[in-house]
Structure 1
Amino acid sequence: MNGVQREHGRAGRGEQCEVAVDHGCRRPDHSEMDRSIRLGMLTPSSNTVLEPMTAAMLADMPGVTAHFARIRVLAIDLGADSRAQFDLGPMLEAAGLLADAKVHAICWNGTSGAWLGLEQDRAMCAAITEATGIPAVTATMALMEALDLLGVRRIGLVTPYLGAVQQAILARWAAAGLDCVAERHLEDPGNFSFAEHPESLVAQLVREVAAAGPEAIAIHCTNFRGAGAVPALESETGIPVLDSIAVALWGGLRAAGAETAALIYWGRLFGLPKAE
């Protein structure tokens, strides 16, 4: 491939990995970056992965900063108590606090819409925008947009979730016209515990799913250590890998009107064009 050579890249957690780098898409000079953009991130309270990972990615975009407000999320299942964690009231309160920082976009950096339904995410975003005047998006809404832009329907799914939650996601996605050809999950009720699974395990699950030949693979949990492995996994498999932390950041940047190409190191997601 012209202009491509092997270089050592970041694999996360201090590891070195070998990735294919297209020198036509190398990290641009700081002068090329977007400036003075503030992203508001609604964050599950027990999540310990998304904030440092988002900060690591944004090191490639000086002047773009992420600001976080937390809502209480302790466990992920299909019960009433778990569903109540994602009620609109706490989301609006946290979004209002982010609005005090005059953020340019607000993102629900959680994946509950995958099993509770995109209609809940859309209603939440509409309510946030009505209350604050700020555009809003969610990790799951951004994932659906990315899949549409990629033009894919045959997907793989990797999560740490309980089987019942995984099946609820697959049912929602099937209704949206997506065909999951392979999936892996870990039967973990979470939420804090999701972060305890090492990046190497997440990468292995992605490799297993990749063997089925999906057109794209989603790592859909924002407290799961997948984002750092994406550059190496995409190089190894040739398949777009859409990690939800990266997807949420991509969606937030687009909602704020920012370009995303400066983050192409973190996955081909960031090179997708804006929808017409």
Structure 2
Amino acid sequence: MNAPGRQLPYRIGQIVPSSNVTMETEIPALFRARERVAPERFTFHSSRMRMKQVRPEELAAMDDEAGRCAAELSDARVDVLGYACLVAVMSQGHGHHRTAQRELAEVTRHNGAPAPVVTSAGALVGALHTLGARRIALVAPYVRPLTETVVDYLRQEGIETSDFTALEIPDNLRVAAHDPALLPSIVRGLDHRGADAVVLSACVQLPSLAYVQAVEDELGKPVLSAAVATAHHLMRALDLPAVAPGAGHLLSGAYADAPVTN
């Protein structure tokens, strides 16, 4: 890992589904927000796993490609890797984010370029624990059975879901095309009265960043997304304060130095 305050930019590696077009916009946007208030600079580098339809068989086949992607990114000597597909990890069974992080980090070590690995699945779990959220409301674009897989995964990590919406969009490009301006009204339709936090997008392909702060201001409780959680964990994995103004309570600075837990 590189020392904070260095002159060269940090290299952020992302392992993304081939049809994902959101993480390569939202993660850089969050780091650019950080650049406005901190001296460090960043570049972004991706490797892709084939996937078009968000279905169990395609998710499993895609997950098998993650090791190749980790090796390719470590060839570029990235400083941290983010595995940017939450449901692909969660659908492989409880606790798989820990296995994926360990195995992909081992790939980078074997390639002579060791780097920490963050998964969006583990980041969401860890971020909710960081916020002290024991009960949440959640929006996901997946078909209902996959959304229930996410809800069950979180339950086994000690996080209950009071209510959720499954948008029933299996085509991954259609997920990216979903209008984020619809999210505030979708959240208003959820029962979030007893929730400690709201997950505006439990998917790194569903655009939501433009509305995280607005929905949080409306509800008066923490609002985050899988992308916001991933950015927080990527920053902390680099041993940098995790902050991005305008992206909700998690990146407000209140948890800038929180340890990564998942």
The alignment's TM-score, normalised by the length of structure 2, stands at 0.85
Does 2:68 correspond to 1:86?
Answer: no
Paired position in structure 2 for 1:170: 151
* 1:21-71 per-position Cα deviation (integer Å, ceiling 9, x unaligned): xxxxxxxxxxx9996221111111101122122222222226122221111
Q: Is contact 2:136–2:161 with CA below 8 Å preserved after alignment?
A: yes
2:132 to 144, 151, 161: 151
Q: Is contact 2:162–2:191 with CA below 8 Å preserved after alignment?
A: no
Structure 1, unaligned stretches of length 5 or more?
1-31
Q: Is contact 2:47–2:73 with CA below 8 Å preserved after alignment?
A: yes
User: Residue 167 of structure 1: CA displacement?
Assistant: 1.3
Q: Is contact 1:104–1:134 with CA below 8 Å preserved after alignment?
A: yes
Does 2:136 correspond to 1:136?
Answer: no
Q: Is contact 1:182–1:212 with CA below 8 Å preserved after alignment?
A: no
Paired position in structure 1 for 2:27: 54
User: Residue 195 of structure 1: CA displacement?
Assistant: 0.9
Paired position in structure 1 for 2:74: 99
Does 2:81 correspond to 1:65?
Answer: no
Alpha carbons of 1:240 and 1:210: their partners in 2 closer, same or farther (altered >3 Å)?
farther
Q: Is contact 2:97–2:119 with CA below 8 Å preserved after alignment?
A: yes
Paired position in structure 2 for 1:226: 208
* 1:230-264 per-position Cα deviation (integer Å, ceiling 9, x unaligned): 01111111121111112112211111222112x13
Q: Is contact 1:210–1:239 with CA below 8 Å preserved after alignment?
A: no
Structure 2, unaligned stretches of length 5 or more?
109-113
Report the AA paired with residue 198 of structure 2: I
Report the AA paired with residue 93 of structure 1: R
User: Residue 202 of structure 1: CA displacement?
Assistant: 2.1
Paired position in structure 2 for 1:115: 91
Report the AA paired with residue 82 of structure 1: L
Paired position in structure 1 for 2:223: 241
Residue identity over aligned pairs, in percent, reads 27
Alignment of 1:29-40 (within 5 A): 36-40=9-13
In the aligned structure 2, how far is the partner of 1:188 from the partner of 1:268? 28
Q: How many residues align?
A: 241
In the aligned structure 2, how far is the partner of 1:208 from the partner of 1:161? 18
* 1:201-252 per-position Cα deviation (integer Å, ceiling 9, x unaligned): 2222223236434111122111111111001111111121111112112211
User: Residue 180 of structure 1: CA displacement?
Assistant: 0.7
Paired position in structure 1 for 2:111: none
* 1:80-137 per-position Cα deviation (integer Å, ceiling 9, x unaligned): 34322212xx111111111122111111011122333353222221122112121101
Q: Is contact 1:118–1:140 with CA below 8 Å preserved after alignment?
A: no
Alpha carbons of 1:210 and 1:104: their partners in 2 closer, same or farther (altered >3 Å)?
farther
Report the AA paired with residue 176 of structure 2: A
Indicate the SS of the match to 2:91: helix
User: Residue 194 of structure 1: CA displacement?
Assistant: 0.2
Report the AA paired with residue 190 of structure 1: D
In the aligned structure 1, how far is the partner of 2:94 from the partner of 2:173? 24
Report the AA paired with residue 240 of structure 1: P
1:77 to 47, 55, 65: 55
Paired position in structure 1 for 2:259: 275
Q: CA RMSD in A?
A: 2.1
In the aligned structure 2, how far is the partner of 1:104 from the partner of 1:118? 27
